[in-house]
Structure 1
């Protein structure tokens, strides 16, 4: 009889009681582990599991929280989370409702990153209405990075493929270590002072948060925001975010992506010019046809109004000849302009300069190639590479005579 009189709970009531007990028992906890089965839903919420050698637990991070993470987690990432412990009543699963997520072992750096990000966002440095438009047809492009960085080679090859006619100016600087922020700030100021480029690419390859930390410098953020030249950031991989990315006028997922966003494709430019040409020809032909019809109407009216139709017909013929001559002259001018524009594009190709008999001398000092610009940089102790129109040659000088 006593067993019959006991209260019988529904499954939902039991799960709610367990959930309330867990919430009362545990305050916010910090948990570290490896992400497994990560899924980002269209709603913006993240669902995954945290696991280690001894177990795993389900996790959820809602959209309002994960917007502050700064990177897109992936299965296999080692992370640390602060969360409240509870139970998902419909399934009876214990789960963590995550409030903060950071990469494992980056607690101090990540906290500093979030603090500076919040400060600069409050000051308006990330506002879209503050950012400048990237020029669609830049006259020249500046690159701020390390000369030894692999990212520089990728950027230069991309620019050479897409827009070989656009001059490139490299502002060398450190991109890692305590001296890197000051070097990048100095490079930005040098670019502004020279005023030789229309857009700046601030690029570096991927790495850990420690490797990319120079791009989270507060003074560098202010320098990018105050730059008179638009800045495109291409730092790390697609999932890496730095303060420089948020404050730059345009963020690219990779250094190569930054080059693609800054440089128009040469073939597209030629297609645009051809489209403009065809549109002009169509409008001119339409205008000529309208004027010819008007001329026919005038000729008809003159033929009925004047007593000497033969003379008027002769004048009309002369007018037609003059119109045809003017039209021919105009067409020749348009053709010359088109050829001129095409010649200008071709002249901007560095290869054409070499084909005219010029050469570039590259020094091979310290296992890197640098263009020789002054006679004082030539000597007989080291070798040089001479870039010609149809190849390159390795040379050494037996004697160097410098003219004053």
Structure 2
């Protein structure tokens, strides 16, 4: 039986095939000659569909092969395949007849090494980590309220649209400065370095302006976003450049790396102050929604209002209590006068009792000691008269009867000094038998 791989006889006319029949025949020939087949190669363009099926390419320096791994086989994978890894697969070679493509249907996969690019990535990562470029201690926190945001990415990248959309939605009041750069290809690392360096200079100029307004009028940039959408390991390779890594750690302000998808890691991610899983997430990390801050301000204002009101209430209570304790000066003076009068009455009563006792003693002793008793009684009487005189002198009404007056202002406060009675002041003078309203005309100091 002749195979389609056998050369036809020169004299024989070639067979005319239907396209589908030819694809089917080629698939049968591959099945008979090669399958099952084991292939070693580097993963490229690996993706997992929503159905669970995986699609990727296997490649080496001289060629590449399209592969498919259906869910029943993918569910048994013992690792997460990544672009750049060197793997060994086993499967069946065939033709995908709908497109006429050669395709390897993979039934099992295992690592065969890390792949050339991935090994290069690991070597550079180990080197920079040993130098301390990834140290958490050198990473800075993001500003809570940035005054300006710098963005480095390609103008044609979908990542730029995602970032700008997120920033406009969350913080439309914050200015955004975009510095374009290549994000893929041989020239991309140098382009990224130049864009970052430009932003660094602008950020430093803005800081100088903030310290000294005469230094210039540069924009204030508090944060930088370095972003790019997803892709294969080769697509993201520009962000695994050593010079770019060293440039990132020199940033004068916090820098966020948002490169690729959540499962993608680059050297730039480890050097940045913060790694975001996607470009959109990078924008959201640096930009808290305005509504969040407005709500926080409202909450703080409410707390401040309550605290001030409580303080005012406490002070008002203290003032009321002090007023109750102090009272009006005239009332306090009246209470003092009443208390003094009571004390004087008690003293007179005590003196009368003592005098009565002395009189009684005098009567009892007169028959025995008339002359001595008389002198003693006379001395006691004189002593009592002197004490009575002193007591009378303490009576404030006597002071007022001698021509003195008690001055007080309109609020009832005592006036004891000239400076308390300016010209035109209305005062009240309390005399021995009543009060007189007076007006100050010309105060004089002694």
Q: TM-score, normalised by structure 1?
A: 0.54
Q: Report deviation, 1:148.
A: 1.0
Q: Aligned partners of 2:167, 2:311: CA distance in 1, in Å?
A: 41
Distance, in Å, in 1 between the alignment partners of 2:199 and 2:328 is 73
User: 1:115–1:313: structure 2 CA closer, same or farther, 3 Å change rule?
Assistant: farther
Write the mapping of 1:14-25 to structure 2, written as runs, cut at 5 A. Answer: none
Distance 1:100 1:223, change over 3 A: farther
Aligned length: 248
Q: Of 129, 142, 145, which aligns to 2:150?
A: 142
CA distances 1:241-269 after superposition (whole Å, capped 9, x unpaired): 11001111111111001000011101011
Task: Tell me how far 1:275 sits from its aligned partner.
Answer: 1.1
Query: Would you identify which runs of 4 or more consecutive aligned residues in structure 1 move more than 2 Å?
Result: 30-38, 55-61, 77-82, 96-102, 304-309, 311-316
Tell me what 1:364 maps to: none
- Cα-to-partner distance string for 1:173-211 (whole Å, 9 max, x where unaligned): 111111111111111111121123100000011111111
Contact 1:35 1:78 in 2 (8 A): no
Give the C-alpha shift of residue 101 in structure 1: 5.7
Residues 121-168 of structure 1: per-residue CA shift (max 9 Å, x gap) = 111111111111111110010000011111101110100000000000
**What's the counterpart of residue 80 of structure 1?**
86
Partners of 1:263 and 1:299 in 2: how far apart? Answer: 54
- For residue 99 of structure 1, report the CA deviation from its aligned partner: 7.9
Gaps of 5+ in 2: 1-39, 54-67, 89-107, 204-219, 334-407, 414-446
Alignment of 1:140-179 (within 5 A): 140-179=148-187
Q: Residue 84 of structure 2 contacts residue 233 of structure 2 at CA under 8 Å; is this kept in 1? A: no
**Residue in 2 aligned with 1:124?**
132
Q: 1:139 to 1:306 in 2, by over 3 A?
A: farther
Match of 1:184 in 2: 192
| The structure with more radius of gyration | 2
The alpha carbon displacement at 1:73 in A equals 4.0
Does the CA-based 8 Å contact 2:152-2:195 persist in structure 1? yes
- Structure 1 residue matching 2:179: 3-state secondary structure: strand
Show CA shifts across 1:9-65 (max 9, x none).
xxxxxxxxxxxxxxxxxxxxx788999999xxxxxxxxxxxx979x9797757xxxx
Aligned counterpart for 1:251 among listed residues 253, 272, 275:
275
Secondary structure of 1:203's aligned partner: strand
Contact 1:303 1:312 (C-alpha < 8 Å) held by counterparts: no
CA RMSD of aligned residues (A): 3.8
